Structure formats: structure tokens, C-alpha cells
């Protein structure tokens, strides 16, 4: 068991980090759906139980898997190559780099990618970014700097992505809420199809 654990966090670290990102983003969405529906049931006195939108959770999982390799690359290689050390000065530099470089990139990539996965097209995905980026990024500045101080200061290099992803379970619940707060997006059938069906 110890040997397997060592391989998972050494030889197969990129795979471990990628799958972890996907699973935790999906798990965050499941938590959000449970919270959303239980709240609605209290408001409407319904007791039909929670109905999970698995397509929505699947999209969140795919987005996490897509961002996983770059998350691994950033935390395991890039930031350590350019900002070395665990002294307070270096840690604050890493946090600043994370907030100014990785934060905006991952935030915009998430909303853009989710828009594409929902079939909104490039313009719709850009609209997702415009609508959600600023409020999410402002909350990002409150949540991640304290967490990243612990990460860069005390967590061993090989466990940093997993540490971030574990905290991301809370963050992903918030992301899922922000992404779906206006309801789940449904792709509507083109108007041409309706006309053709009417004529036939």
C-alpha cells in the first residue's frame, strides 16, 4: 500500500493531480446541487428528494480534467522554478504570482470552457466570462491568499496540487453556484427545425 501511494504521488503525479481536479470539481457541483434543491424543497414544501443533473456534473468533471494538467504544471514546476524557497518573502511572491497570473487565467478558462461544453459557442462562452469573472475574482482574493500561504510555506511539493484541490472542493461549490445561479443552461432547438416540423 505504501509503495502504491508513493507511485501515485511520484511517478504518476500528473495523472493523480489531473483526476483529482476533475473529481473535486464534479464533487463541488454535486454539493451545490444538493444545497440548491434542498433549499428549493424547503421553500415549496416538496419532498421528492434531490434529483441530480448528471450532465451538468459531467461537464464540471470534464472541465476539471481539462484544467488538471496545467494546474499540475503551475504548482509543481513553473512557480517553483521562478520563485524558489519557503521563506516568508518568497511565499508572498508566490502568492502574488498565483493571484496575478494563475487566478485570472484559471477563472476565465473555467467559465469559457463551461460555456463551450454547454454548446453556447465562442460568443456565448465569452459572455460567460464577462458576466462571472469579476465577482468570482474578487472573492478569489479573499479565499486563496491565506490558503496558498499554508500551501507554499508548509506543504511538500508533491502534495501541493492535492492540497489545493482539497480546498478547491469548497471553492468549486462556490464556482458551481456562480455558474448555475441563473439555472441550468439548456440548448434550444434551432428555429429552422421547428418550421420544418410544422410544414411536414
Q: Which has the higher per-residue pLDDT, 198 or 69?
A: 69
Q: What is the pTM of this model?
A: 0.78
CB of 21 within 8 A of CB of 64? Answer: yes
Residue 69 has pLDDT above 60, yes or no: yes
Q: Which of 192, 176, 193 is nearest to 184 (CA)?
A: 176
Residue 48 has pLDDT above 70, yes or no: no
Determine the Cα–Cα distance for residues 200 and 104; give it in Å rounded to an integer: 50
- What is residue 75's predicted lDDT score, i.e. its pLDDT? 83
- What is residue 51's predicted lDDT score, i.e. its pLDDT? 86
User: How do residues 114-163 score in pLDDT, each as one tens digit?
Assistant: 999 999 999 999 999 999 999 999 999 999 999 989 988 888 877 876 78
Q: C-alpha grid cell for residue 45? A: 414544501
DSSP secondary structure, 85-130, as one string: --SHHHHHHHHHHIIIIIHHHHHHHHHHHHHHHTT-HHHHHHHHHH
Please, what is the average pLDDT of the chain?
83
Amino acid at each position: 500500500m505504501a509503495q502504491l501511494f508513493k507511485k501515485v504521488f511520484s511517478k504518476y503525479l500528473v495523472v493523480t493531480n489531473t483526476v483529482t481536479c476533475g473529481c473535486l470539481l464534479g464533487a463541488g457541483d454535486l454539493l451545490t446541487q444538493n444545497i440548491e434543491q434542498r433549499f428549493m424543497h424547503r421553500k415549496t414544501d416538496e419532498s421528492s428528494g434531490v434529483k441530480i443533473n448528471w450532465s451538468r456534473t459531467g461537464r464540471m468533471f470534464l472541465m476539471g480534467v481539462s484544467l488538471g494538467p496545467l494546474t499540475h504544471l503551475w504548482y509543481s514546476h513553473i512557480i517553483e522554478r521562478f520563485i524558489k524557497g519557503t521563506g516568508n518573502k518568497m511565499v508572498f511572491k508566490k502568492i502574488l504570482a498565483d493571484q496575478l497570473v494563475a487566478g485570472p487565467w484559471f477563472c476565465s478558462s473555467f467559465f469559457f470552457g463551461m460555456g463551450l461544453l454547454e454548446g453556447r459557442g465562442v460568443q456565448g462562452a465569452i459572455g460567460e466570462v464577462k458576466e462571472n469573472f469579476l465577482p468570482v475574482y474578487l472573492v478569489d482574493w479573499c479565499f486563496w491568499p491565506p490558503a496558498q500561504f499554508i500551501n507554499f510555506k508548509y506543504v511538500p511539493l508533491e502534495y501541493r496540487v492535492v492540497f489545493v484541490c482539497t480546498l478547491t472542493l469548497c471553492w468549486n461549490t462556490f464556482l458551481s453556484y456562480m455558474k448555475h445561479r441563473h439555472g441550468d443552461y439548456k440548448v434550444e432547438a434551432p428555429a429552422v427545425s421547428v418550421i420544418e416540423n410544422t410544414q411536414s
